Amino acid sequence: MDYRDTLNLPSTKFKMKANLTQKEPMFLKRWEKQELYKKLQESMADKPSYILHDGPPYANGHIHLGTAFNKVLKDIILKSRRFAGFRSPYIPGWDCHGLPIEHNVDKELGEKKEKISKLGKRGACRKYAEKWIKTQKAEFKRLGVLGDWDQPYLTMNYGYEAAIAREFNRFLLSDSVVRSKKPVYWCSTCQTALAEAEVEYHDHTSASIYVKFPVKEDLGDVVAELSGRKVCAIIWTTTPWTLPANQAVAFHPQFVYAAVEVGDEVWILAEELVEKCFQEFGISDYKVLTTFKATGLENKKCSHPFLERDSLMVLANYVTAESGTGCVHTAPGHGADDYITGLRYGLEPLSPVDGKGMFTADAGKYEGRQVPKVNKDIIEDLRADGSLVQHNDISHSYPHCWRCKKPVMYRATEQWFVSMAKNELRDKALKAIENVKWTPSWGMQRIFGMVEGRPDWCLSRQRSWGVPITVLSCTDCGEVLKNEEVCKRIEDSFVKEGADAWFKYDAAHFAGDSVCSSCGCKEFVQEADILDVWFDSGVSFSAVCEEREELDSPADLYLEGSDQHRGWFQSSLLASVGTRERAPYKGVLTHGYVVDGKGKKMSKSVGNVVAPQEVIDKYGAEILRLWVSSEDYRDDVKVSDEILKHVSDAYRKMRNTIRFMLSNISDFNHETDSVSMDEMTGLDRWALARFAELNERVVKAYMDHEFHTVFHSFYYFCGTTMSSIYLDVLKDRLYASETNDAGRRAAQTVIRRILEGMLQLMAPILSFTTTEAWEYLHGLKEDAPVESSIFFSAFPNTDDISRVAEEDERWGQLLLLRSEITKVLETARRNKEIGLSLDAEVVLGVDDKLADFLSDKWDVLREICIVSALRSEDGLDDSNSVSAENVEGLRIAVRQAPGTKCERCWILSPSVGEDEDHPALCARCAGVVKRITAAV
């Protein structure tokens, strides 16, 4: 007789092969049709809220793995908060204005861009942004991210544009907005000022020249040896074209300078650089006359080498002895340090270069020439009149435009700023930073340092695609009109027609019958510049969190990459502190960058870029989500084929564990078949205790945003606690017992409960798989109501599971004994003494302490070792047993188990053969089979 049919073998239709790439779209479709997100929000309406405010990605191009990582992280947080009992709405957003989009639209327009109207260009930009929003939205949804995708926030929505104007006007009315000439990064190709965040550094070959600046005054009073000599300061620069704007030569107040005789001239340069410089000049015939401190040079005058102008000798701390001559060419209109020095000495930020990089009349003979081509002319002229000491080319790191990748320049222009000093914005912001919970904690240091040292916030951009700086200035005297009614009029028209209104109507439309407070004039001119896009996204707390009914401000959490300490976290902070006197967030969490398997950043040129679409196509979004959870995001996040393969392996283990658990409760009705806790075995209670422990740890990890702990705990639980221990041991009870056997039902009660909890614990991460398994667990059909979805449940409650420390300790000891025994079993297996562990009888030599411990546990130990027999024996020694490695007073021997192998349960037992009807079965199995046959 074949006894296989009398066993309760596992059975399920839940597939071992996940087929994620095909199944995921199906679940997504269903969730969308069921309006899962919306229904979930409704169901949590009266619960406390947890507001995670989305930082808007830029609406240009496909999403990359970094954005995918960020969105999945947010999704995991929001889903886990929901499972923990919070209402956690998610309003995704997009950053829509700005240079990159305008630049791409310009490219698409080609020659037409010169003819198209501003409004026409803006319309094209809007369309362009819409296109990419649509694309990105689909890509984000594909990741399984739940949110209000039908009503995201867009910084180009009319209401949002009005909010931007409103917040700008608040700054304006509070006198925080100032206009001043200041050198800013300027791209002459894009013809716009660039924010610091908009320049990137690449290697660039520049001219490196040394130039004589003849000292006009006799320096005899400072250094006696120089009396009556022709003295020159030797400066070094890599930007010859800024020489027409030179206003000063800077010396370090602490450096020692040398006066070097070269022919009939005396050159001044830093003493420690003399040798190096003259080597470079190729001059060996020189003599150091004397050395001196430069402090005496302050406020003396040099002559400009080729313009009829003086150049002041000044002192500055940033002068370096690393390179150059220690005498620094200073052009306050073309450099940040230079500008500050200029302020100190009352020098003009001269900048004789227009927006296209063309010299103006102020540059004398170079008028009409183009930067940087003019370098060559200037160098030649210097050479011709003997001012040039040396000319080389050097390659160095130089700022480039983030968009067009061309070198940029520093150029002084009229710009609008939010002053960091007015209304104590800087101090208030620093204070606000201290009241925010930064994760990781060093985030506070980082942003604090940045805010502490940052310059005024340059708000203006000379472009078309953005929200205008809504300033009206008096035509006569230039005074800025600050009038609440006018502001309101602007805001209202933006609500109706968007920021386009500014370009549709003239100044009078907004100014009404306003009068200039300074000169009484009634004519006004509109500002043409638009706002920095960081201002757009920076006011999202106002445009979104304060406006949308389901949200709130300040938000509980902002969550972005660590680059946003300078970006969105900061612009949001300043926008909020400047208008609300508080931070827009209670907590800020940052994650590292996605890098390749070696920790190097991804770049197209290196060819190590991994696209989210590749991961989805090859493994499925679920694997991408699991990968997100597996990495500790506080550091950089690595990704590679190897890593994804391992994540995929982990997924298979998790899935198989779930499948096996499902397959063993296929005949279990938890309404009618459940067994109470006191009817369970110690092993069952141990498993429940481990589950309660898992629950506690995982929920805490979710609340602490430590998802890699969730991943590791769960993986260990699946692979070790369940798969290799509990479920493996349970097989005999589940398979060989009668269907309704109390012990079997107890095991099923435990399995079902743990399985349900496992699914709930992992649903925030494994959203697809837990949904699928949940449907099998509850026997749900495809058309089941949305409320039966796993997402409407909660994290498991394990309060009723008793956790006794001594009990855990006893089990720890039992498992230790088990591992000692399996080692010896393995030796026996290698010696071909046994195959299956059930072939073995384990004989232990135990000391008194162990004997006492084991007195009531012999059978449990046999069970968890999955051997046919286990007993103690006196007199074991080295000839017939081995001493346990990690347990004192224990000897272990493995022998062939006595008796015959039962054909049904495979346990070797002396009772096999005793039953006449079933001579191939052990007593237990014979009984079971008889009762089954009788029932039939």
Partner RNA sequence: GGGCGUGUAGCUCAGUUGGUUAGAGCGCGUCCCUGAUAAGGACGAGGUCCCUGGUUCGAGUCCAGGCCCGCCCA
Q: In the window 27-56, what residues touch RNA (CB under 7 A)?
A: none
Tell whether residue 689 is a contact of RNA (CB under 7 A): no
Q: Which of residues 373-412 bind RNA (CB under 7 A)?
A: 397
Tell whether residue 19 is a contact of RNA (CB under 7 A): no
Tell the smallest beta-carbon distance from residue 724 to RNA (Å): 3
Size of the site for RNA (CB under 7 A): 82
Please say which residue, 397 or 605, places its beta carbon nearer to RNA.
397
Q: Which span sits near RNA by CB under 7 A: 129-137, 264-272, 444-452, 915-923?
A: 444-452
Please say which residue, 709 or 872, places its beta carbon nearer to RNA.
709
> Alpha-carbon distance 311 to 327, whole Å?
12
Long-range pairs for 493-500 at CB < 8 Å and ≥24 separation?
494/158, 494/161, 494/162, 494/165, 495/158, 495/159, 495/162, 496/158, 497/158, 498/156, 498/158, 498/161, 499/158, 499/161, 499/164, 499/165, 499/466, 499/467, 499/468, 500/119, 500/122
DSSP H or E segment with residue 465: none
Tell the smallest beta-carbon distance from residue 41 to RNA (Å): 32
Q: Which span sits near RNA by CB under 7 A: 30-38, 373-381, 465-473, 826-834?
A: 826-834
Contact call for residues 194 and 103 (beta carbons, < 8 A): no
Identity at 18, one-letter amino acid code: A
Please say which residue, 247 or 564, places its beta carbon nearer to RNA.
564
DSSP-derived secondary structure letter, 254: S
Tell the smallest beta-carbon distance from residue 61 to RNA (Å): 16
Closest of 216, 215, 238 to residue 379, by C-alpha: 238
Q: Which of residues 331-350 bind RNA (CB under 7 A)?
A: 336-337
> Alpha-carbon distance 299 to 817, whole Å?
87
The residue within the footprint of RNA, chosen from 473, 656, 813, 883 (CB under 7 A), is 656
> Alpha-carbon distance 432 to 122, whole Å?
37
Please say which residue, 103 or 591, places its beta carbon nearer to RNA.
591
DSSP-derived secondary structure letter, 726: I
Contact call for residues 158 and 498 (beta carbons, < 8 A): yes
Q: Which of residues 533-572 bind RNA (CB under 7 A)?
A: 561-563, 565-566
Tokens 């410089």 — which residue? 277
> Alpha-carbon distance 612 to 205, whole Å?
37
List the Cα angle 167/173/174 in 5-degree steps.
Answer: 95
346: left (phi over 0), alpha (psi -120 to 50) or beta: left
Q: Chain-centre distance of CA 89, in angstroms?
A: 20
Answer whether the bond into residue 440 is a cis peptide, omega within 30°.
Answer: yes
Q: Which span sits near RNA by CB under 7 A: 35-43, 239-247, 546-554, 901-909?
A: 901-909
Tell whether residue 667 is a contact of RNA (CB under 7 A): no
Please say which residue, 385 or 642, places its beta carbon nearer to RNA.
642
Q: Which of residues 133-162 bind RNA (CB under 7 A)?
A: none
Please say which residue, 404 or 836, places its beta carbon nearer to RNA.
836
Tell whether residue 841 is a contact of RNA (CB under 7 A): no
Phi, psi of 11 (to 5 degrees): -155, 130
Q: Which of residues 595-654 bind RNA (CB under 7 A)?
A: 595, 597, 599-601, 630-632, 634-638, 642-643, 646, 649-650, 652-653
The residue within the footprint of RNA, chosen from 158, 281, 715, 853 (CB under 7 A), is 715
The residue within the footprint of RNA, chosen from 179, 428, 437, 708 (CB under 7 A), is 708
The residue within the footprint of RNA, chosen from 4, 107, 356, 849 (CB under 7 A), is 4
Closest of 259, 393, 233, 386 to residue 319, by C-alpha: 233
> Alpha-carbon distance 182 to 417, whole Å?
10
Burial of residue 712 (CB within 10 Å: 0-12, 13-18, 19+) is middle
Tell whether residue 663 is a contact of RNA (CB under 7 A): yes
Tell the smallest beta-carbon distance from residue 7 to RNA (Å): 6
Please say which residue, 283 or 404, places its beta carbon nearer to RNA.
404
Tell the smallest beta-carbon distance from residue 218 to RNA (Å): 35
Phi, psi of 880 (to 5 degrees): -130, 10
User: Which tokens belong to 352?
Assistant: 């004789």
The residue within the footprint of RNA, chosen from 728, 741, 807, 915 (CB under 7 A), is 728
DSSP H or E segment with residue 316: none
Please say which residue, 218 or 649, places its beta carbon nearer to RNA.
649
Tokens 């089979």 — which residue? 929
Q: Which of residues 85-124 bind RNA (CB under 7 A)?
A: none
Please say which residue, 201 or 218, places its beta carbon nearer to RNA.
201
Phi, psi of 391 (to 5 degrees): -140, 125
Q: Which span sits near RNA by CB under 7 A: 174-182, 430-438, 694-702, 727-735?
A: 727-735
Tell the smallest beta-carbon distance from residue 538 to RNA (Å): 15
Tell whether residue 826 is a contact of RNA (CB under 7 A): yes
Tell the smallest beta-carbon distance from residue 713 to RNA (Å): 9
Contact call for residues 12 and 662 (beta carbons, < 8 A): yes
Please say which residue, 530 or 650, places its beta carbon nearer to RNA.
650
Please say which residue, 147 or 349, places its beta carbon nearer to RNA.
349
Q: Which of residues 185-214 bind RNA (CB under 7 A)?
A: 196-197, 199, 201
Please report, in angstroms and rounded to a whole number, the separation of the first and last CA atoms in the chain: 16
Please say which residue, 861 or 905, places its beta carbon nearer to RNA.
905
Q: Which span sits near RNA by CB under 7 A: 1-9, 239-247, 427-435, 844-852?
A: 1-9
> Alpha-carbon distance 627 to 639, whole Å?
8
The residue within the footprint of RNA, chosen from 424, 442, 617, 700 (CB under 7 A), is 442
